[in-house]
């Protein structure tokens, strides 16, 4: 890109990156949006005894390294913004210090918490107030567990910040809570965007440390002199993007229009998690939505992301790690190639099964699952790779039917964005299993969505529709047409039964 650029810090649950985005002359005239990766780094939870934490200081170090690289490269940086995964948070005490390390949402302290929570406040009431899919990882349940355990960090807390807000605070000294990530907490009313304080009282969770949510596009303040000294970036404002990575990714879906009443497309934001859903003008907090366990997360410009959290490529990632532990270093492309050659439907696994949330070893967990569900022990790594991908495609198929029912619409196109859009086998499986056309890309949708929200905030762009036209013109997408859809029918039936039983 040509200066001035916007810097998107995009932190996913498997990796983080600092990306510079801005305009450049296209090859055949006209201006395009161009991104350039300044820094990429791994991100993994760190175990201490039984607990799981994020390495926040390492992330902060890497963010600063990325910003330093950008300061060296570009004459002018117009703004910076951070997006991250949802539900996790940091706490700040009365002396403006972090109260301790940040827990990872896979930390086991929330195991079994949902039943305990429903004894306190009925499930229906929680759904009615928050409109969110029930998952033990949600902030509400993390805070409930912390309250019940008498965690001292909670007692010392004066400010609560979601992950993006935490890094914005490190950058500027300003404390804020951005609304799209706040919407993942299960503590916010999706209609009014107000905190559900009565609900929090019901759980005995403190709430004086919550501030009013901020809209994406807001200018928070300039980066602090201490950060300028390290990075070389001077007088650069933080312009808050949609700090929830999924919300940023949805902004960058190269579709037509914005938040239609009756959508004919849906998205899958494909990374560690798969977030599959529609962008709608308003929340749907209906009994059917509760029954199907969908979520009404907040999108930009007051839109709603009606979606389902699906266990995503986490299983695939963790199989890779388990292979490495066994002395085999396999790359994504190799795993996909072996999966393509493996026999279809040898093993069915449900990516959302609790056994796969945080097992010490994913291959052991899958073998145990196969035994438990009366399936054959997987004979080769290729069977494992294929099962992880087929399990996702089968979940997408079920989810698509639910989405059409919920939105009373016919979905013609599935947009897959995020790192997983580079897995062509998974894209083709999705097209086949769902019997719909798939448009794959951009792979860096989250960072691109982060950049365009900063461009909207600083007046370089005027609307989401305009941003999407620009994105479509600037980044190539790949189409996958369905073929052999019917071979998925019988496995889908077996899969749905297995998911219901386990």
**Catalytic site positions:** 245
Residue whose C-alpha is closest to residue 236's, from 246, 245, 225: 225
Q: Does 273 bind ligand LRH (CB under 6 A)?
A: yes
- Compare residues 63 and 196 and give the one whose CB is closer to ligand ADP: 63
Please classify residue 226 by burial: count the beta carbons closer than 10 Å to its beta carbon, then call 0-12 exposed, 13-18 middle and 19+ buried. exposed
Tell me which of 7, 9, 12, 409 binds ligand LRH, using CB under 6 A. Answer: 12
Q: Does 418 bind ligand ADP (CB under 6 A)?
A: yes
190 binds, among ligand ADP, ligand LRH, none (CB under 5 to 8 A by kind): none
Tell me which of 14, 219, 293, 435 binds ligand ADP, using CB under 6 A. Answer: 14
Alpha-carbon span 200 to 463, nearest angstrom: 36
Sign of CA dihedral 163, 42, 307, 249: positive
298 binds, among ligand LRH, ligand ADP, none (CB under 5 to 8 A by kind): none
184 binds, among ligand ADP, ligand LRH, none (CB under 5 to 8 A by kind): ligand LRH
> Could you tell me the smallest distance in angstroms from the CB atom of residue 234 to ligand LRH?
32
Segment lying near ligand ADP (by CB under 6 A), choices 51-59, 312-320, 397-405, 486-494: 312-320
Q: Does 371 bind ligand ADP (CB under 6 A)?
A: no
Full DSSP string of 332-343: HHHHHHHHHHSP
Tell me which of 70, 313, 362, 431 binds ligand ADP, using CB under 6 A. Answer: 313
- Is residue 432 within 8 A of residue 456, CB to CB? The reply is no
E strands, 64-175, in order: 77-84, 89-93, 102-103, 157-162
> Could you tell me the smallest distance in angstroms from the CB atom of residue 249 to ligand LRH?
8
Q: Does 333 bind ligand ADP (CB under 6 A)?
A: yes
Alpha-carbon span 138 to 110, nearest angstrom: 9
Q: Does 214 bind ligand LRH (CB under 6 A)?
A: no
> Could you tell me the smallest distance in angstroms from the CB atom of residue 299 to ligand LRH?
12
Alpha-carbon span 183 to 131, nearest angstrom: 10
Q: Does 246 bind ligand LRH (CB under 6 A)?
A: yes
- Count of residues of this chain found to bind ligand LRH when the rule CB under 6 A is applied: 16
Q: Does 309 bind ligand LRH (CB under 6 A)?
A: yes
40 C-beta neighbours (distance < 10 Å), count: 13
**By rule CB under 6 A, what string of x and - marks binding of each residue 13-42 to ligand LRH?**
x-----------------------------
Of 266-305, binders to ligand ADP (CB under 6 A) are 271-272
Q: Does 317 bind ligand ADP (CB under 6 A)?
A: yes
Q: Does 165 bind ligand LRH (CB under 6 A)?
A: no
Residue whose C-alpha is closest to residue 83's, from 416, 443, 447: 447
- Is residue 10 within 8 A of residue 245, CB to CB? The reply is yes
Q: Does 245 bind ligand LRH (CB under 6 A)?
A: yes
φ, ψ of residue 47 to 5 degrees: the values are: -95, 135
- Compare residues 126 and 323 and give the one whose CB is closer to ligand LRH: 126
At 434, list the tokens. Answer: 């769902």
Greatest pairwise CA separation for the chain in angstroms: 63
- Count of residues of this chain found to bind ligand ADP when the rule CB under 6 A is applied: 17
Output b/e per residue, 400-434; b: 16+ Cβ within 10 A.
bebbeebbebebebbbbbbbbbbbebbbbbbbbbb
At 203, list the tokens. Answer: 């759980």
- Compare residues 78 and 103 and give the one whose CB is closer to ligand LRH: 103
Segment lying near ligand LRH (by CB under 6 A), choices 80-88, 146-154, 158-166, 452-460: 80-88
Alpha-carbon span 39 to 358, nearest angstrom: 28
Segment lying near ligand LRH (by CB under 6 A), choices 268-276, 353-361, 375-383, 388-396: 268-276
Q: Does 314 bind ligand LRH (CB under 6 A)?
A: no
Output b/e per residue, 135-172; b: 16+ Cβ within 10 A.
bbbbbbbbbbbbbbeebebbebbebbbbbbbbbbbbbb
Segment lying near ligand LRH (by CB under 6 A), choices 79-87, 142-150, 192-200, 482-490: 79-87
E strands, 245-395, in order: 265-270, 274-280, 295-298, 304-310
Tell me which of 43, 79, 139, 184 binds ligand LRH, using CB under 6 A. Answer: 184
Q: Does 275 bind ligand LRH (CB under 6 A)?
A: yes
- Is residue 83 within 8 A of residue 13, CB to CB? The reply is no
Q: What share of the chain is helix, strand, coil (3-state, %, to 5)?
A: 45, 20, 35
What is the three-class DSSP state of 302? helix
At 349, list the tokens. Answer: 């696994």
- Compare residues 41 and 53 and give the one whose CB is closer to ligand ADP: 41
15 binds, among ligand LRH, ligand ADP, none (CB under 5 to 8 A by kind): ligand ADP
At 223, list the tokens. Answer: 């980066």
Tell me which of 39, 78, 81, 85 binds ligand LRH, using CB under 6 A. Answer: 85
- Compare residues 190 and 420 and give the one whose CB is closer to ligand ADP: 420
> Could you tell me the smallest distance in angstroms from the CB atom of residue 231 to ligand ADP?
23
Q: Does 126 bind ligand LRH (CB under 6 A)?
A: no
Q: Does 13 bind ligand ADP (CB under 6 A)?
A: yes
- Is residue 437 within 8 A of residue 228, CB to CB? The reply is no
**Interface with ligand ADP (CB under 6 A):** 12-15, 271-272, 313, 316-317, 332-333, 336, 418-420, 422-423
Binding residues for ligand LRH, rule: CB under 6 A, are 12-13, 85-87, 105, 137, 184, 244-246, 271-273, 275, 309
């Amino acid at each position: 890109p040509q200066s001035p650029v916007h810097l998107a810090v995009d932190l996913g649950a498997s990796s983080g990156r600092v990306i510079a985005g801005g305009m450049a002359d296209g090859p055949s005239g006209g201006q395009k949006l161009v991104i350039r990766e300044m820094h990429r780094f791994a991100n993994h939870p760190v175990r201490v005894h039984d607990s799981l934490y994020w390495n926040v200081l390492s992330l902060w170090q890497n963010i600063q390294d990325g910003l330093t690289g950008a300061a060296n490269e570009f004459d002018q940086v117009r703004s910076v913004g951070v997006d991250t995964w949802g539900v996790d948070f940091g706490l700040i005490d009365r002396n403006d210090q972090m109260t301790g390390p940040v827990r990872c949402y896979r930390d086991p302290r929330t195991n079994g918490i949902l039943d305990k929570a429903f004894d306190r406040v009925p499930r229906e009431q929680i759904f009615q107030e928050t409109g969110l899919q029930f998952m033990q990882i949600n902030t509400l349940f993390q805070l409930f567990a912390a309250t019940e355990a008498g965690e001292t960090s909670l007692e010392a807390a004066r400010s609560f910040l979601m992950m993006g807000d935490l890094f914005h605070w490190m950058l500027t000294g300003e404390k804020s809570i951005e609304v799209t990530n706040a919407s993942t907490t299960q503590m916010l009313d999706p209609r009014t965007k107000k905190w559900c304080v009565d609900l929090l009282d019901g759980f005995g969770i403190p709430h004086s440390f919550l501030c009013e949510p901020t809209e994406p596009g807001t200018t928070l303040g300039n980066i602090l002199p201490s950060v300028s000294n390290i990075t070389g970036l001077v007088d650069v404002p933080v312009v808050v993007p949609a700090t929830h990575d999924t919300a940023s990714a949805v902004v960058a879906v190269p579709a037509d229009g914005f938040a239609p009443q009756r959508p004919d497309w849906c998205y899958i934001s494909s990374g560690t998690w798969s977030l599959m859903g529609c962008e709608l003008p308003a929340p749907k907090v209906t009994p059917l939505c509760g029954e199907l366990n969908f979520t009404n997360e907040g999108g930009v410009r007051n839109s709603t992301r009606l979606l389902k959290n699906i266990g995503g490529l986490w299983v695939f990632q963790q199989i890779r790690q388990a292979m490495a532990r066994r002395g085999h270093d396999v790359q994504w492309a190799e795993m996909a190639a072996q999966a393509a050659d493996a026999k279809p439907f040898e093993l069915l696994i449900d990516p959302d099964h609790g056994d796969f949330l945080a097992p010490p070893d994913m291959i052991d967990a899958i073998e145990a699952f196969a035994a438990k569900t009366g399936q054959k022990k997987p004979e080769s790594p290729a069977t494992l790779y294929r099962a992880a991908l087929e399990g996702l495609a089968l979940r997408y198929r079920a989810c698509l039917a639910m989405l059409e029912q919920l939105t009373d619409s016919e979905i013609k196109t599935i947009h897959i964005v995020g790192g997983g859009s580079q897995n062509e086998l998974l894209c083709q499986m999705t097209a086949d299993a769902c019997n719909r056309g798939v448009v794959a890309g951009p792979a860096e949708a989250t960072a691109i969505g982060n950049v365009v929200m900063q461009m909207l905030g600083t007046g370089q762009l005027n609307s989401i529709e305009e941003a999407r036209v620009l994105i479509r013109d600037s980044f190539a997408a790949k189409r996958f047409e369905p073929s052999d859809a019917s071979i998925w029918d019988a496995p889908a039936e077996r899969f749905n039964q297995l998911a219901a039983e386990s």
